[in-house]
Amino acid sequence: MDTQLVTDILADICSNAGLPHPSRDPVRVWSLSGVERITFPDGTTAIYKYASEPFTSEERKLRAAGTANIPVPAVIGAIVRDDVLGMVIEDLGEPARDAVDADGIVAAVALHDAAPASMLPVLDDDALSALPALALGHLRRLQDKGRWAAGAGDTVGMLEALTDAAAKRAEGATTAPWGWVHSEFHPTSLHIGRDGWRLLDFARAFTGPGLLDLASWHGTVEPADPVRLRRFIQAYVAAGGHPSALAERGGLAPQAWALGWHRVWAIEWFMEQALRWINDPSKDEAYINVVRRHLTTAVRLLEP
């Protein structure tokens, strides 16, 4: 990412907002984005977040979430220039504690109760069922470039099986809870402060099945655990989540449906990253291993 562009965008945001030039302290930096804490001469602080495509719509999504009364950090100012977003948002400070399952349930109920935003992309039955074929297309384009040839032999077969069964298994995607999907709904995206909680990291939010948020809460590093997710869904419903969260869909129990489709959603994203956004052959082996692991889980859960 062009570091001078990132610096210039911050300067212009501050100028537009009538703020003085701040000092900058990096918090986290990735290949496609970064987060800094900025400090103004009077000692007040804010967060500067910058990102390239495909993350440049986060400012609009944060504003839409705030309008829908979802607790999020306030946006102070933002600019998109040359396919790079820079935004200055409220600094929530250090968390009072780490988020736990009970916090995630409260946040999920509030998020899924919020009015959907018209500007969000939609993941309905048709869009969900298209994901395996999209991933298969990514794989073929990677292989046309001479990549993903070694170590990905069983990937084609699993993606083809999921593609064939996708329309049937995607049924029920619009069953409630339907609306806001954070998509990176993890404990690390939930800030627990002394004055309440705020949701962070809305860059990939969309309108879709809220069960995908519940499936993402415990992450994808450990093996998928349908029993744990079933308990989580039951607690969500008991806390005010829509009762249909416990309904069967696509011929599957909700926990299997949610975990399976969440893995397929992640697979398509990883493969698009490998092809388009990251496009770094030196990382192919790591991506292949992650995709195969998630594919194996998705096939087991979705039973194509």
Whole-number pLDDT of residue 150: 76
Q: How far apart are CA 67 and CA 59, in angstroms?
A: 12
Q: Structural domains in the chain?
A: 3-90 (3.30.200.20), 101-302 (3.90.1200)
What's residue 98's pLDDT? 97
For residue 174, give the amino acid letter: T
Tens-of-pLDDT digits for all 304 residues of the chain? 899 999 999 999 999 999 999 999 999 988 889 999 999 999 999 999 999 999 999 999 999 999 999 999 999 999 999 999 999 999 999 999 999 999 999 999 999 999 999 999 999 999 999 999 999 999 999 999 999 987 777 999 999 999 999 999 999 999 999 999 999 999 999 999 999 999 999 999 999 999 999 999 999 999 999 999 999 999 999 999 999 999 999 999 999 999 999 999 999 999 999 998 888 899 899 999 999 999 999 999 999 9
Report phi then psi at 204, rounded to 5.
-115, 25
* Among the listed residues 112, 219, 235, the one whose alpha carbon sits nearest the alpha carbon of residue 175: 112
Run of H or E including 74: none
Of 186, 187, 238, 191, the closest CA to residue 212 belongs to 186
Contact (CB, 8 A) for 209 and 177: yes
Whole-angstrom Cα distance, residue 44 to residue 67?
25
- In the chain, the amino acid numbered 150 is A
Instruction: Look at residue 82 in the predicted model and tell me its pLDDT.
Output: 96
Assigned token pair, 259:
């975990």
**Half-sphere exposure of residue 18, counting CA atoms within 13 Å on the CB side?**
0
CB atoms within 10 A of CB 248: 13
